[in-house]
A and B are shown apart, each in its own frame.
Chain A
Amino acid sequence: MKNFLYNDMEFSVAKTSSGWDINRTLPNGDFAVVGASLFKDLGEVDAGIRALALVRKVFPVGIKIVGPNVSHPNMVGDLKIIGPDVSHPNFIYWNKDSTSFAK
């Protein structure tokens, strides 16, 4: 079994009879399964690389901006009404993980 830290979360990659399982350690010490029976034909090193790549995609690091989208106001006469706009959630992700930034 191999452990790694990503974005302050601890993950483990463990070999099973049907491939590799990736688990995420929860704050209470339990673990949740991120993926099961993956990367069947890979050895430990390659499975670890693929596991990290998958974890980066499942848990992308970044900021989530929640708020109105000012480019889509509802017009009432010449008044622009900018309310909560769930159709434009404005998710923006940085393309680097937390290890790129000072703690």
Chain B
Amino acid sequence: MMMALLRRLGQTVFVLFGISALVFLVFFATPGADPTARIAGRNASPQTMEKVRQEYGFDRPLPVQYATMMKKLFITQDLASYVDRGELVVPEIARAAPVTVSLVCGAALIWVVLSIAMGTIAAAMKGTWVDRGLMMLGLIGISMPVFWLGQVANLITQSRYHDTWLFSWVPGLGYVPLTENPWGWFKALVIPWIVLAVMFIGIYSRVLRADLVALSGEDFMRTARAKGLSPTRILLRHGLRTSMVTFVSLFGLDFAQLVGGGALLTEVVFGLPGVGRLTYQALTNLDLPLIMATVMYSAVFVVLANAVVDILYLFLDPRVRDAR
């Protein structure tokens, strides 16, 4: 067990190193990425450029620059942006993270509850029009580009029908911190939550239904039926519990991806200053320190989630445990 954990840790460090080195190299290979002129300001004299180059260490060999950047990012945590001079990137991420976490947690709650309900109902009523209708709804959810859905939601709630009783409560775009105003936080996030959740409701309810349907053919389900348990009880106590293994592992990965910045389209459309939008801004500005920090942040989440899911599997599913 200990060995497995250590190996996992080694792999994680390797992956993080790989990503950071890759980001670093790609950045310096990109033409136009030299940040000196941007830091020095427009029309700065060559001497000022030289001063900036020395101050930021751009004249040093790449491995040294890489090491310095990693030190500033992880140890001293005083890495500053190349674009907004003087802006430290670590606190910037610390401020963006709660926004993304708020967005993703709310959406996750919605999609877990709704997809379990939809998946179970569909499986229970397999082959009926309810089943087909629910699954078609799910499919439509999967098929909508999230940024477009967000735009349409904005159009309806912010503009077209904002003056009607139905949507007059919707606040302007943007984020309200939970600590400042919980009710405002809720109102600002409700629509983004729903928009982000739609696709996942589709995926998860379909996966769950497929699993439940497949399980109904398994021996232990037949045994349960033979014991005379009620169909609802079988479905909920036996079927659903078993299906949760897949469900939870899928959820862990998606959740980590979203918290790590995968929700950027939703954040962009709803003007939420989260990690995804920060990453996107950093990328478009070729702001290496911020790119490095955000990519590391998201990689840590995803890699950790992968590890956690694998370990959970080890505990939850005897088949996997024995196979190792």
Q: Do A and B bind each other?
A: no
The chain A residues found within 8 Å of chain B, CB to CB, are none
The chain B residues found within 8 Å of chain A, CB to CB, are none
